[in-house]
Chains A and B, each alone.
Chain A
Amino acid sequence: MTLGGDCRNCRLMLAYALRRVLQSFLVLLVVGLVAFSMFRFVGDPVDNLLGQERTQEDIERVRADLGLDDPFLVQYWTFLKKAATGDFGLSYRQARPVGDIIAERAPATLELALVSGTMAIFFGVVLGIFTAIRRDGWVANVIMSTSLIGVSLPTFLIGILLIYLFSVELGWLPSFGRGEVVDLGWWTTGFLTASGLKALILPSITLGLYQMTLIMRLVRSEMLEVLRADYIRFARARGLREKSVNFRHALKNTLVPVITVTGLQLGSIIAFAIITETVFQWPGVGLLFINAIQFVDIPVMAAYLMLISVMFVGINLVVDLLYFAIDPRLRADRTKAH
C-alpha cells in the first residue's frame, strides 16, 4: 500500500508524525524523571559507591563527581544528557559501566523477542483467521477452548511445563542458557549454531504463547465482526471468490485494529522476557533486571527502565504511523481535525 501518492498526504503524514514524536519525547522525559529520582533518592548513591572505609574527602569527591550538590533541575538535565549517550554510571553490584553490561546482554533478549514475536504474530493471525472462517468446525472449537486455558496459565508455569516435557522427560532440548553463540564483535548471535537454535526453541515458545493466544482471539473476534459487515455481503453478492472475500476484503479490515494491539503486545514481549529469561536462565537484560531488583542495583534498574521506555514509545509511534498508512479514512479524518 502506498502512503498516499500526492504530496498533500505526505505533508499531513509528516505533521502528524512530528506531533507524535513530540508526545513521545514528553513521555520519555517523565519516565526519565522517575528513573532519575530513583537514582537520586532511593538509597544514598555515595554509600553505594564507596565501601565502609572512606574519608570525608572521598565522600566530597564523589559528591562533586556525581554533581549531587547542583540544583535538582541541573542534575536532572545532566542525567538526561548522559542517558542519551548510554551512560548510566556504574552498577552497584558489578562495579562496571551499566551501559556496557546492557550492551553485552541486549542481543540475547532481542533475539529471543524477535523469534517469539514473529511466531506469536504469524501463528496468532493464521489461527485467528482459521477459527473465524471455520467458526463452527470442531478444530476451531478445540483451539478456542484450549486458548482459554492458555490465557489463565501464568507464563512461568508454561516454561516449567515445557522444561519438564522436553528437557527432563524427553531430553530433546536444553533447559537453560543460550547454547553456543557466535561473537560478531558488537553482537552475539545464537542463530548461527545448532545448539544456539535449539536453545531458542523452548524460551521463545514460552514467551510467545501468551501473546499468540491474545492475538489469535483478537483476530478472530475482529474478523467475525468484519465478516458480518455490509461490504462483505456486497462482495459476496458480486460473486467474488471466498478466498478473495476472506483475504482481500475481510482480512485487510481486520488488520487495522489488530495492528495497534499487536504492536503493544510486542512491547510487552520485551517486558515479559523477564519471566522467561528467569525460568530458562537466559543471559539477557530481563534476567539482569530481576537480579538488579533483588540486589537493589539502582543504576541498572534505572537504565533498564529508560531502555524499555524508549522501546515502548518507539513501538507505539511506529504502530500509530502504520495505522495512519493503512487506513485511508484516518488520513481524511486527520485532515478535518486540523
Chain B
Amino acid sequence: MTDLPQIPPQVRAKAPSRFTRAWDSDFAYQFRRSPVAIISFTVVLVLVLAAIFAPLIAPYDPFDPASLNLMNGFSKPMEPNAFTGDVFWLGTDDQGRDVFSTILYGLRISLFVGAAAVAFAMVLGITLGLLAGYVGGWVETIIMRVADVQLTFPAILVAMLIFGIAKGITPVEYRDQMAIWVLIVAIGLSDWVQFARVVRGATLVEKNKEYVQAARLIGRGSGAIMLRHILPNVLSPVLVIATISLALAIIAEATLSFLGVGAPPTQPSLGTLIRIGQGFLFSGEWWILLFPAATLLALALAVNLLGDWLRDALNPKLR
C-alpha cells in the first residue's frame, strides 16, 4: 500500500510545468521517500562536482613541481608545518604535496576511468547484445559463448590480463601515457557481459512483438528497428546495471592501481594514492593513507547504495 501524495487542486488545474511533472512522478516520489537514496545521491553529486572543478577548488597544483616545497613534507593535518608554518587541511605527503589537492585530482582520474570504462562496456555490451538477440544464428552463438567463457573468470582477473597484454604491446616510452586509456579498455572489456546478456534477453522478447513486426513490414531497416524500437525498451535495466557497474569499475580501477598495474604515479588515481600511502603506515603518517581511502570508500559505498536503490525503484523484477 503506497499512499500517493495528494495533489492540491490548484496545482492540478494549471497545466503542470515540466518541473512539476518530474517532481510528481513516481520515481521522484520514491526518491524523496528514501533517505538512503538522498544521502548517497548527495555524496555522489558532491564528489563528482569536486572532481570536475578540481583545478578550481584545489588549493595547490600537486603536479606543478614549482609549487612544491620539500620542507612542507609530512605536515600533519590542520597543524602548521614545523619549518614553513604553512597549514594543510589534510596534511602533506613526503614530497610536500597537499593531500587534499591530490585527492581531488585522484578523484578526477578515478571517476573518469570508472565512467569511461562503464560507458565503453555499455556501448560494447548493448551493441553485441542487440546483434546477438536480433540477428541470432552463429553470431549469437559466438557472442554468447565468449560471454560464458569470460564469466567463468572474475572480472578483475580479466582486466589485469588485458592490462598486461596491452602493456606488452605498447612501446615502453608510451606506457605511462597510455596507462589510463589501457585501464579504461581493460575494465570495460571485463564488464560488457552483463549488458550484453540483459539486452539480448530483452531483444528476444521485443523482437517478436507486433509493433516490431509491423515496423519490419513497412520496410524499416534492421538497424533502425534495433535503435528506435528495441533499444528504448531496455534502457531502464541498462541504467541499473550501469550504476552498479560504476561502483564495481571504480573499485576495480582502485584495485588495479593499488596493485601497481593501473594509473601511474604521474597520474595518480585514488588507488595509486592508497598504494603510496600504505608505505607510510608503519612510520605513523596515517593521513597520507587515511584520507584517500576514506574518499574511495565513501564514493564506492554511495554509488553502490544508489545502484541498489535504483534497481528497486526502476525495476523490482531485476531483483
Q: Note whether A and B form a binding pair.
A: yes
Cβ contact of A271, chosen from B156, B281, B286, B293, cutoff 8 A? B156
A195 within 8 A of B: no
Q: Is the CB of A296 within 8 A of B281?
A: no
Q: What's the minimum C-beta distance from A34 to chain B, rounded to whole angstroms?
A: 8
Q: Tell which of B54-62, B197-205, B297-305 binds the partner.
A: B297-305
Q: Tell which of B43-51, B78-86, B256-264 binds the partner.
A: B256-264
Using an 8 Å CB-CB cutoff, how does the interface string of A142-158 with B read, 1 for contact, 0 for none?
Answer: 00000011011111110
CA distance A91 to B158 in the complex (A): 21
Contacts of B19 in A (CB 8 A): none
Q: Is the CB of B153 within 8 A of A149?
A: no
Docked complex: B123-179 residues within 8 A CB-CB of A: 149, 152-154, 156-157, 160-161, 163-165, 167-169
Q: Is the CB of B296 within 8 A of A278?
A: no
- Assuming A155-B255, A156-B258, A275-B255, is B168 touching A42 (CB within 8 A)? yes
Q: What's the minimum C-beta distance from A182 to chain B, rounded to whole angstroms?
A: 28
Closest to B166 in A: A42
A316 within 8 A of B: yes
CA distance A80 to B301 in the complex (A): 44
Using an 8 Å CB-CB cutoff, how does the interface string of A119-152 with B read, 1 for contact, 0 for none?
Answer: 0000000000000000000000000000011011
Docked complex: B20-50 residues within 8 A CB-CB of A: none
Q: Is the CB of B164 within 8 A of A152?
A: no
CA distance A334 to B296 in the complex (A): 48
A160 within 8 A of B: yes
Q: Is the CB of B167 within 8 A of A293?
A: yes
A308 within 8 A of B: yes
A168 within 8 A of B: yes
Using an 8 Å CB-CB cutoff, how does the interface string of A305-328 with B read, 1 for contact, 0 for none?
Answer: 100110011001000000000000
Contacts of A271 in B (CB 8 A): 153-154, 156-157
Contacts of A316 in B (CB 8 A): 152
Using an 8 Å CB-CB cutoff, how does the interface string of A10-50 with B read, 1 for contact, 0 for none?
Answer: 00000000000000000100110000001000110000000
CA distance A148 to B36 in the complex (A): 13
Could you tell me the dominant secondary structure of chain B's interface residues? helix
Contacts of A88 in B (CB 8 A): none
Could you tell me the dominant secondary structure of chain A's interface residues? helix
B249 within 8 A of A: no
Contacts of A215 in B (CB 8 A): none
B251 within 8 A of A: yes
Q: Is the CB of B304 within 8 A of A156?
A: no
Cβ contact of B157, chosen from A160, A278, A294, A308, cutoff 8 A? A308
B247 within 8 A of A: yes
B241 within 8 A of A: no
Q: Is the CB of A296 within 8 A of B153?
A: no
Q: Is the CB of B281 within 8 A of A294?
A: no
Contacts of B259 in A (CB 8 A): 156, 274-275, 278, 290
A282 within 8 A of B: no
Q: Is the CB of A296 within 8 A of B164?
A: yes
A79 within 8 A of B: no
CA distance A279 to B278 in the complex (A): 9
- Assuming A27-B149, A272-B156, A294-B261, is B296 touching A38 (CB within 8 A)? no
Q: Is the CB of B153 within 8 A of A152?
A: no
CA distance A271 to B160 in the complex (A): 10
A164 within 8 A of B: yes
Q: Is the CB of B289 within 8 A of A160?
A: yes
Q: Is the CB of B164 within 8 A of A154?
A: no
Using an 8 Å CB-CB cutoff, how does the interface string of B262-306 with A read, 1 for contact, 0 for none?
Answer: 000000000000100010011000100100010011001100110
Contacts of A275 in B (CB 8 A): 156, 255, 258-259
Cβ contact of A160, chosen from B251, B281, B301, B304, cutoff 8 A? B281
A250 within 8 A of B: no
Contacts of A38 in B (CB 8 A): 165, 168
B254 within 8 A of A: yes
Closest to A287 in B: B259
Q: Residue among A164, A175, A293 with the most chain B CB within 10 A?
A: A293
A244 within 8 A of B: no
A268 within 8 A of B: yes
A209 within 8 A of B: no
Cβ contact of B161, chosen from A168, A272, A294, A301, cutoff 8 A? A301
CA distance A36 to B163 in the complex (A): 17
Q: Is the CB of B168 within 8 A of A160?
A: no
Docked complex: A258-313 residues within 8 A CB-CB of B: 267-268, 271-272, 274-275, 278-279, 289-290, 292-294, 296, 298, 301, 305, 308-309, 312-313
A163 within 8 A of B: yes
Q: Is the CB of A42 within 8 A of B149?
A: no
CA distance A278 to B305 in the complex (A): 28
Q: Is the CB of B258 within 8 A of A152?
A: no
- Assuming A157-B293, A271-B154, is B164 touching A292 (CB within 8 A)? yes
Contacts of A301 in B (CB 8 A): 161, 164-165
Closest to B158 in A: A271
Q: Is the CB of B154 within 8 A of A157?
A: no
Contacts of B163 in A (CB 8 A): 293
Closest to A275 in B: B255
Contacts of B247 in A (CB 8 A): 152
Q: Which residues of B contact A (CB under 8 A)?
A: 149, 152-154, 156-157, 160-161, 163-165, 167-169, 247, 251, 254-255, 258-261, 274, 278, 281-282, 286, 289, 293, 296-297, 300-301, 304-305
Beyond the given A152-B297, A157-B296, A301-B165, please list 6 additional residue pairs across the A-B interface where CB-CB is below 8 A.
A151-B304, A154-B296, A271-B156, A290-B160, A290-B261, A308-B153
10 A-B residue pairs with Cβ-Cβ distance under 8 Å, sorted by A, are: A30-B149, A152-B305, A267-B154, A272-B156, A274-B259, A290-B259, A293-B261, A294-B261, A296-B167, A305-B161
Nearest 8 CB-CB pairings of A with B: A42-B168, A293-B164, A152-B301, A271-B157, A268-B154, A152-B304, A296-B168, A271-B154
